[in-house]
Amino acid sequence: MINTVIFDMDGLLVDSEPLWGIAMREVFSTVGVSLSPELTHLTTGLRTKEVVSYWHNHFKWNSKSAEQVTTEIVSSVTHKILHEGQGMEGLHYILDFFHSRGFNIGLASSSPMSLIQAVLKHLDIRSAFQAVVSAEYEPYGKPHPAVYLACAGELNASPLDCLAFEDSVTGMIAAKAARMKVVVVPEAHKRTEPKFVLADMKLDSLLQFGDEQLELLRR
């Protein structure tokens, strides 16, 4: 019986993916790397250090360390979210929906914990979660299931009783690998991605989820 829900954060609860793209392009430009929006989408859902490592292996700059670039990106995107970041459509609705039905509620994000806490404070939703887990502290990031399994563990829930909400293919694969049911709510320009067929349900907005959808997933 599904009694636990675990949410991704970036692009699902907070409209931060465009801000991540801007921050990455700005910081990468300081090492002579030009990333188009299409290229930045290739690494959506990965941990920041993995994104930087991916592009460092490709472009091989030497003017700054990968660690410095990672730190600058996280600092930049944190600043942008705190000044421009908005909750996604249906944010408070979906948290209230599961809270009112007695669900355990967790968050499992690829972002560093410092950014997660800043976003939760900015949106004033920290109290909605009984567990908040960052892949920063896991040996492997998404698409490995480690962060989802860790979050389920903190909630004392079996992964088989968990429902995950994701917006990216990388995150969807992580949650499916953890043996959870998965609802994907992709950005508009990603909704035709064929790989989302692996999800148990695909929605255009968090507002589209209700009791009918929950019962379908519980069958």
- From residue 17, give the alpha-carbon distance in Å to each of 22, 37, 75, 213, 215: 9, 11, 15, 26, 30
10 annotated active-site: yes
8 annotated active-site: yes
Q: Which of 8, 15, 167, 200 is catalytic?
A: 8
Question: CA 105, CA 201: separation in Å to the nearest integer?
Answer: 19
Residue 163, beta-bridge partner list: 5, 181
Q: Across the chain, which distance is largest between two alpha carbons, in Å?
A: 55
Q: Which residues are catalytic?
A: 8, 10
